[in-house]
Amino acid sequence: MTEKTFRGSLTVESLLICPVLILIFLLVVYAGRLTDASFRVHRAADVSARVASQANFASMVSRGIATARSDLANNHSPCVDVDVVIVRGRTGRIHTVTSTVTCTLNSYGIGLLSIPKRIVRASSTEVVDFFSAR
């Protein structure tokens, strides 16, 4: 009887599966960054709309923008580029403030995936506190 040997088969299997495992790991890292950025951008939009709604009409826009940018900076967001837009609105006698935060996600370290830059956008609307906005 002859005995069949499979010498080197483990090397070939590991050679084929390692790149696939690395790509799966990078995809998981990218998904984590995207989820983290989404949570942080939504939080920044909520906080900036709330602060802007409590400010007076003259400083509403500037305080909302400053709050969103500082919230993202203090929470170490994975954003490369941040754009904040504060819009004052009115529906009848009710005044509103809408904060829209746009973030371009940092893709540093995951260049092997060749994923284009991802943009995360969040919007939040608050009713202006009439008595504090005088």
Number of helices and strands in the chain (H, E):
2, 3
pLDDT band at 45 (very low <50, low <70, confident <90, very high): very high
Whole-number Cα distances in Å, 110 to 23, 72, 82, 105: 9, 22, 20, 12
Q: Report pLDDT digits (tens) over 17-37.
A: 988 898 899 889 888 888 988
**Sign of torsion over alpha carbons 41, 42, 45, 48:** negative
Instruction: Name the 3-class secondary structure at 116.
Output: coil
Q: Report pLDDT digits (tens) over 70-97.
A: 999 998 888 888 999 999 988 888 889 9
Provide the pLDDT for residue 100.
96
